[in-house]
Structure 1
Amino acid sequence: MIAAAHASIVEEGVAAMSIRNICSAAGHSQGAFYSNFASKDDLLVDILQSHIQDEVTLLRDIVAQCVGDDIEATLEVLADRLAKLAEEPQWSLLSIELQLHARRNPAFAERHREGKAACYRMFGELVADLVRRFSLRPALPAEQTGIGLYALWMGLAVQGDVEGAISRDEMLVGFFRAMAGLDVLEPAKP
Structure 2
Amino acid sequence: MQMSQIVTNFFDACVFFPRIIFFSGLLSLSGCSNAVEFVQIFTGNNGPTGPNLYHFENKEQLDLSWVKSAMSRSDYEKVLSRIDFKRQVLIAVSVGERDSVSENVQISRISLVPVADDTIVDVSVRVGMVSKECEKNLTSYVFVLGTFEKPKKTLSYGGFDMDNFNAGCIAELSGQPNGP
**Whose RCO is larger (CA < 8 A, sep 6+)?**
2
Greater per-residue strand proportion: 2
Q: TM-score range by the shorter chain?
A: under 0.3
Normalising by structure 1, report the TM-score: 0.24
* TM norm structure 2: 0.25
Return the structure number with greater helix share: 1
